[in-house]
Amino acid sequence: MTKKKLNKTYLSIIVVVVLLVVIVAAVYTAQPKREIGVKAGDIFTYSLTGEAVDNTEDGNAVPKNFLDINNVEYYSIEITKVEYPIVSYIETTQFKNGTGLTSEDTVNVESGDTISGGFWGVFIINLKVGSLSRPDVSNGITINSTETRTYLDGERQTNFMRAEAEFYDADDPTLTRKYNAYTFMYIDKQLGVLVELTDMKIYSDPQIMLTVKMELISSNVLQVP
């Protein structure tokens, strides 16, 4: 092979390599960047309400402590540290009788895991319809749709997610009673934080339905109506 032909061969190889680099770079940059929208100092305050429907004959099947949720004046989260993928926070549950509970926890935005089962409602920002809400959970919940919500400081995009499943009742000592759970979640797309939640548990034996609602009522980073 002549020197001229060798040069052409090397040139061809270089061109192919460059093209591959460009293609890989294009594919990589096309992937959504995983970012956290909240920051230390952000505060989100929610209302909590519970509603029970009892279709049993004696009308006395609702767990005695369920409606205690209506004794909550507010539930708040204060972000204390953000170090991807972990968000640290202080959660406060303030009751109408003046007492309250405060604890610290963390949530992993990629898996949804918390240390002690606390607030999990922080997500990666700018998730698109059809994408996983938690990238580490391959069979997890996906974004169903995106809608516009109006706040005092303007309109914002909100992601909607829906989940349903069947569970065993952990309060049943026989572990034989089941219920169907339906959860509807609204997440601010730009901040990646929960703004509204409805959680329904429907039991067939006894025939009761328990609904918990959680709604953002104030924040230092969102002007809630």
Q: What is the pLDDT of residues 186-198, one digit of tens each?
A: 999 999 999 999 9
Domain match, 12 and 59 both: no
Q: What is the DSSP letter of 124?
A: B
What is each CA distance from 115 to 92, 199, 213, in whole angstroms? 16, 22, 23
Which residue has better confidence, 2 or 102?
102
**pLDDT, tens digit (0-9, with 9 covering 90-100), for 157-211:** 999 999 999 998 887 888 788 999 999 999 999 999 999 999 999 999 899 999 9
> How many domains are contained in the chain?
2
Residue 74's CB is within 10 A of a number of other CB atoms, namely: 16
Whether 209 is in a domain gets the answer yes
pTM for the model stands at 0.83
The reply to whether 138 and 189 lie within a common domain is yes
| Cβ burial 182-199 (10 Å sphere, 16+ → b, else e) | ebbbbbbbebbbbbbbeb
Q: Please state the rounded mean pLDDT for residues 7-11.
A: 48
Pair (25, 49) in one structural domain: no
Same domain, 73 and 132: yes
**39 pLDDT band (50/70/90 cuts)?**
very high
First and final C-alpha spacing in the chain: 77
